[in-house]
Every structure is written in C-alpha cells, then in structure tokens.
Amino acid sequence: MKAAVISQLKQELKNRPSNEILEICLRLARFKKENKELLSYLLFDVHDEQTYIESVKNEIDRQFEEINKINIYFAKKSIRKIVRTTNKFIRYSGLKQTEVELLLHFCKRLNDSGIPMNKSITLNNIYISQIQKIKKDISTLHEDLQYDYGEELKSFL
C-alpha cells in the first residue's frame, strides 16, 4: 500500500466531518507511541513551550543519571539514545529556539557527566555534531537571541 502525499491527505481531511476526524486521530494515537506523544504535545503543550522545554530537560537529566559511566561502550549507547530522544522531542516542537535550548542542555549535561569523551572518537563526534547543529540553528534566530545563545555556546568550546 502506497501512502498518500500530504496535499492529498489535507484535501481529504477538509472534506471529512469533525467527528470523523476525531475518530481518525484517536485511531492514529493507538498505533504508535510517537503518534500519541505528538498528539499530546499538540493538544496540551503547544501553548506553553517553556513548560514543555523544562519537562524535556528533566527527561534528559533523568536519562543522564542512568548512564553507566564505568564502561565507555555502554556510555556511548546511552548517549546515542539520549540524542535520539532529544531529537524526537525537538521534532514535535519544530521551533528553532526550542531546538537550541534542548541541544545546549544536552551538551552541558554531557560535559558535566564526567564521561571521558577524549577516549572515544564516537562520543567526541556526537558532541561536535550537536555543537554544529546549535551553531546552524542560532544563525536563524533573532539577533538578541543569537547573542544570548552564542554566549552560552562559547562556554562549551
């Protein structure tokens, strides 16, 4: 089965009654955890982005506390998982400012974790790629925010 393109889906949703759209959304939420998380964000968190950012930061903190810091292999696996989770929450929001804040928090926690990044090329590359994403996203923000986040980013370099 081939999936329809977004424009076709949009057109079809316009033609459906609202109670049918409600049923479609609920059915979609039953299938995947990500669909349910996105729907939860759109319904409850989209109006208060700062609270959403704080809840995601708390989740990042919780995951960093669970890292096995003794074995570098398990630390790499855990950090990759944290990056995937962070990117998933960034996709839900879609705002560059949220992305910058969450990635800065991730980098700060990685620096403070005590994991020897210089012993692992992979960990160092993960860190560098997150810094590059932050730099790219900062350049798209308002000038005042660029300065504020740029100053915060300098502490990681």
| Domain range list for the chain | 1-31, 44-154
Residue 31 has pLDDT above 90, yes or no: no
Q: Considering only CA atoms, which of 92, 86, 100 is closest in space to residue 136?
A: 100
How many beta carbons lie within 10 A of that of residue 117, not counting itself? Answer: 20
Residue 156 has pLDDT above 80, yes or no: no
Instruction: Tell me what pLDDT residue 12 has.
Output: 86
Name the pLDDT band for 157 (thresholds 50, 70, 90): confident
